[in-house]
Amino acid sequence: MPARYPSRRLAPRSYPVFLQLAGRRLCYGQCPMTLREPPPLSASAALFLDFDGTLAPIAPRPQDVRVPVWVLPALQALSTRLDGAVAIVSGRPLAQLDAFLAPLRLPAAGAHGAEWRGASGRISRQLGDPPLAVVHAARLLVAAHAGLILEAKPSGFSLHYRARPELEGECHDALFAALAAAPEASAVWEWLHGHCVFELKQRSVSKGLAVRALLAQAPFAGRPPVFVGDDVTDEDGIKAVQEAGGFGVRVGDGDSQARYRLADTDAVGTWLTAPMALRPAKEKDQA
C-alpha cells in the first residue's frame, strides 16, 4: 500500500461557496470538501497539467504570472520518470508556455487545443479568425472600463476582468449577446467562462480533444492518464482522462467531475514532488 500524504496539507476541509447575484460574485458560506486527495502518481501514468492556477498561481494580469521554483525541476524529473508522458494543456498559446517553462519544451496543447505539439515536436494547428462583431464588443468594453485586459490568442481571444470583478455581469451580457446575434459565428465559436476571464474558442477544439489526440501517440498511448486543472475549462480534459480509465484532479474549489481534489498550486507541488517516489509501474491498472 503506497504511503498517503497528510490530507490537511493537500486539501482544506471546506471551500467557499459563491452565489452569482446581479452580476456580482458573493461568498455565501463554506461547503465540505467532498473530493479526496489523489493517490501517488504511478510511474506508468500519462500526466496532463494545466498551467495557470495549477502549476503557477494566478496573477492579476496574465503576463505577471511567476513560475514557482519547484516547477521546472519537477517537470523535468517527472518527464524522465514517465518516459516523456508529461504534457501541458492550457488556454495560453504554445509560445507563451514554452517561454514560461524554458528551457523545457514539453509536449503541450495551447489555446484550449487549437494548437498542440506531441513528443515528436510536430505542431498541429486549427486556427480561425474570431467574428469581428464579437471582437468589437470586447474592444468597446475595454475602451469603456480601465482594468479590463483583452488578450489575443492564436485562435480566438480572452477578456480578463480580474482587476474589475464587479464588471463580470456587464462583460458576460455584452459578449454573449454579440455572439448570439451572429448565428453563423455561434455555430463555430463559443464562450468559456473561467476564473475572471471570458475566452472565445472554436467549438471544434477543446482540452479534452487535445488530450485524446496526445493519448493516441507515443509515449502517452496505453498509459492510464491523469489530468490536473483548476478551472471549468479543464473539465473537458478531466472527462477525457476518466473515460480513458484514468482520473482527474481538481485544484481549488468549484464543482467538478474529477475524482480527486488538491487545495491550490502549493498542494499540487507537494503531490507532484513528493512522489519522486513514484508508485511502481506494475500498478498500471490503477493509474
CB of 272 to Mg ion, least distance (A): 15
Contact 88, 109 (CB under 8 A): yes
User: Which range, of 43-51, 99-107, 144-152, 270-278, touches Mg ion by CB under 5 A?
Assistant: 43-51
Q: State how far the Cα of 196 lies from the Cα of 150, in Å rounded to an integer.
A: 12
CB of 2 to Mg ion, least distance (A): 27
Q: Specify the residue, 50 or 236, whose C-beta has the smaller distance to Mg ion.
A: 50
First to last CA, the chain: 14
Count of CB atoms within 10 A of residue 98's CB? 18
CB of 100 to Mg ion, least distance (A): 13
Q: Where are the alpha helices (DSSP H) in 181-215?
A: 183-186, 207-215
Question: Applying CB under 5 A, which of residues 38, 53, 156, 275 lies at the interface with Mg ion?
Answer: 53
C-alpha cell at 183: 448565428
Question: Applying CB under 5 A, which of residues 37, 52, 115, 264 lies at the interface with Mg ion?
Answer: 52
Could you say whether residue 50 binds Mg ion (CB under 5 A)? yes
Contacts of 272 (CB under 8 A, 6+ apart): 41, 70, 74, 78
Output the residue with the shortest Cβ distance to Mg ion: 53
Count of CB atoms within 10 A of residue 177's CB? 12
CB of 51 to Mg ion, least distance (A): 6
Spot the catalytic one: 50, 52, 234, 253: 50
User: Which range, of 16-24, 36-44, 45-53, 174-182, touches Mg ion by CB under 5 A?
Assistant: 45-53
CB of 55 to Mg ion, least distance (A): 9
Question: Applying CB under 5 A, which of residues 230, 235, 236, 253 lies at the interface with Mg ion?
Answer: 230
Could you say whether residue 253 binds Mg ion (CB under 5 A)? no
Interface size with Mg ion, residues (CB under 5 A) = 5
Q: State how far the Cα of 250 lies from the Cα of 230, in Å rounded to an integer.
A: 5
**Cis bond before residue 73 (omega within 30° of 0):** no
Nearest to 155 by CA among 187, 117, 199: 199
Give me the half-sphere count of Cα atoms (radius 13 Å) on the Cβ side of residue 190: 11
Q: Specify the residue, 39 or 53, whose C-beta has the smaller distance to Mg ion.
A: 53
Q: Specify the residue, 174 or 197, whose C-beta has the smaller distance to Mg ion.
A: 197
Q: Specify the residue, 44 or 52, whose C-beta has the smaller distance to Mg ion.
A: 52
Q: Specify the residue, 174 or 241, whose C-beta has the smaller distance to Mg ion.
A: 241
Note if 266 is an active site residue.
no
Q: Specify the residue, 37 or 231, whose C-beta has the smaller distance to Mg ion.
A: 231
Q: Per this entry, what is the length of the chain? A: 287
Could you say whether residue 236 binds Mg ion (CB under 5 A)? no
Q: Which residue's entry shows cell 521554483?
A: 69
Single-letter code of the amino acid located at 45: A
Q: State how far the Cα of 45 lies from the Cα of 283, in Å rounded to an integer.
A: 10
Question: Applying CB under 5 A, which of residues 231, 235, 253, 264 lies at the interface with Mg ion?
Answer: 231
| Residues with active-site annotation | 50
Residues that bind Mg ion (CB under 5 A): 50, 52-53, 230-231
